[in-house]
Structure 1
């Protein structure tokens, strides 16, 4: 039974129309959006959530979008108080506090997809690695030689380090704290695969991959765009790779979530087909 169905006899039709259909559960923490017009219903909403999800210890109302260099949204507590939790996905466990470091279960399927593409022995780079979900899922579900994760938010870095130990991938995953613009140019060697999961114009950082790729390398770039902008995104990605002397094939571009009305998160799967010497 959905949240709307559970509340339909307790609120007016107008109030019901403003209620969001879904919410996110991260471990035992719920994140929900409640419009200001129906904020007076927050206790009823909390009761309905707790009736269906008895393990939940804290309910957070999202009051601001993910923003800033550390990619953190703003929340207010409407039930409970403890915001640190352990999320589980694909036999992995992630210690996280969503009020201090970005993490979403909505990309769980996408992380699994990428991990299954990784071939044995690959060297993988994960930019904007957060608390480590991409890097650790890749390390656990495939057989990479090395996964390097770079993260700027110092709190996320500490969680990332703890999650590496929690999932027993110390010999595979390397955690680096810093800005990708400073760190990537200093990395030695080339990568078989690069994951760029920050959707705010990750394509603007393609220039950092100069000298870090080889023919046959794959890059997974995440970005926000409208459906009518897909061809424009493809064109921009190709042009950015051309600037670093790489010709690429765009093997796939697909939606992997929504952001706002008619604005979606897209992932662009790119294969380097030719590197100009």
Structure 2
């Protein structure tokens, strides 16, 4: 399938999801996986700024611990932090270069240890306000061309509109509430991943996949579903557990 056709389908998918009561967390999760699909990168994540201006991950293309740690590291340092504060994209960053090691020593070292050698940070920006960043990782030194970067910016724009739900940034109270809701929802999901992974003896990535699949099959909002599991109101034995890992 041509990338242009796939992109059109994804934009329609997002548009159809923007109802009055859409699941922002699930939509951002889908967008992060679509970034990997369309841009041929190894991993993607969406980070939002909390009320104190610190970046926190709300969605990732996979739930591997080492990848999530790279996003968490950018709470303090990394291309996404620079991108968020400047409001401009940082692309085709060579994480093996001396300049990367000097700018972000902990981040660059951890990224290389995880197998990533190139990264990109695209601001989530609408007009003159930046609310977070889209982070892309590659395991090769292949550079993203101008058309790929333009597409990454378009997907970041979709994520921004999704988060704000077509409301103006002048409504600052509503904006802060929406961002905090997304961040709080992510905390609940992290707790459920740990609960299910321990219960099933599997990875957190496998636990998340089973959790999210059940929610989508039964039309459950991820946040509400996570809350019911944490409170003990939902019997997790009804979820098809992933196969034990060797």
Instruction: State the TM-score, normalized to the length of structure 1.
Output: 0.24
Larger Rg: 1
Q: Greater helix share, 1 or 2?
A: 2
Q: Greater strand share, 1 or 2?
A: 1
